[in-house]
Structure 1
């Protein structure tokens, strides 16, 4: 019983670590996609400077 409990606790720790590593990667992916979308939006909507375009 003790062995099983320690294994499940270890699994939770591993899952938490995986989530800890994956979550920031997902955030970065979303930020990159947003930047790509900004670049794909025609710059002529607001002048010629794509940085001046805000949603």
Structure 2
């Protein structure tokens, strides 16, 4: 199911009018990449990091 997440984000963005730049910013995280600059110990994502867009 996680493999479908990037395609699902693109599909939803097309249907609800999400700006292309915003949708593209979501794709790396949907693919499992950590949010830039928010990694904790051992280069893993910091689950307690606050992200405000």
Query: With structure 2 as the length reference, what TM-score do the two structures score?
Result: 0.27
* Higher percent of residues as helix: 1
Question: Higher RCO, 1 or 2 (CA under 8 Å, sep at least 6)?
Answer: 2
Query: With structure 1 as the length reference, what TM-score do the two structures score?
Result: 0.26
